[in-house]
Amino acid sequence: MRGKDLEEKIRGQLFEMQDLGYKAFHEKLIPTVEPDRVIGVRIPELRKFAKQFSRTPEAKEYLQILPHYYYEENNLHAFLIENIRVYEEAMEHTEKFLPFIDNWATCDSFSPKVFRRHPKEVYEKVKLWISSDKTYTIRYGIGILMGNYLDEQFQPEMVELVAGVVSDEYYVNMMCAWYMATALAKQEETILPYLTEHRLSTWVHNKTIQKAVESRRITPEMKQYLKKLKINSRIMC
């Protein structure tokens, strides 16, 4: 099937799963995506569809179609990548796809399981992604560090990568704060000095504290201590 025909076929199937109530709700959560580019397909239903579609010969052809117009088409693309079991193939498609991500939800929604079996190779890619000039490529790299490298694969130098990110982009800085707050719960000894010694930007510092205080993984005693570390600044938003 030709790419255009396949794209129209899959688009039609996505519209058959449309939930207009969900569309109205979800499009408010992704302000960087125009409302007319949101179909309104619930994520569990889309993942189920992706799993079934990934078993067909057409799935590989669909992965060659970029860019996509609809938000759900991008998410489907991401979920198809997640279903790839060969590392080299999954990484190739991930790198081709990253430049086309235009919102936090698509960015945060996929992490190929096969990446966990190749921590050294993926980490080398992560370092490149975090040094990118593209908002969602940077965010994706930090997200992979947060999801795959805070336990047995953790290295203190990884925190330096995140702390060294300098950006005016809200969605980059928010991910930095999310990473630091999550890392604090798992690697407190390494992370705490970044807050006590003010090694982060004021915004990321305060947002890290906010997210840590909201976390169920942080003890009440630590939360009280963190509140005392907050930096008062008119820059906060």
Please say if the pLDDT value at position 234 is more than 80: no
**Buried-exposed string 45-73: b where 16+ CB fall within 10 A, e elsewhere:** ebbebbeebbeeeebeebbeeeebebbbb
Q: Identify the band that residue 175 occupies on the pLDDT scale cut at 50, 70 and 90.
A: very high
> What is the distance between the alpha carbons of residues 136 and 103, in angstroms, rounded to a whole number?
7
Average pLDDT in the chain: 96
pLDDT of residue 13: 98
100: Cβ contacts below 8 Å, ≥ 6 apart: 66, 67, 68, 74
> To the nearest whole percent, how much of the chain has pLDDT over 70?
97
Q: What is the pLDDT of residue 232?
A: 85
Predicted confidence at residue 105, as pLDDT, reads: 97
Q: How much is the average pLDDT of 95-123?
A: 97
Orientation angle between helical segments 170-186 and 135-148, nearest 10 degrees: 10
- Cis preceding linkage at 156, omega within 30: no
Placement of tokens 């079934």 in the chain = 52
Q: Say what angle helices 71-82 and 87-97 make with each other, to 10 degrees.
A: 160
Type of residue found at 142: I
Digit-coded pLDDT (tens) for 17-65: 999 999 999 999 999 999 999 999 999 999 999 999 999 999 999 999 9
Question: Is the predicted pLDDT of residue 236 greater than 70, yes or no?
Answer: no
| Percent above pLDDT 90 for the chain | 96
Question: In this predicted structure, what is the pLDDT of residue 235?
Answer: 44
- pLDDT for 143 beyond 70: yes
Mean of pLDDT values over 130-143: 98
Among 179, 130, 139, 178, smallest CA distance to 159 is for 179
Query: What number is the average pLDDT over the span 133-152?
Result: 98
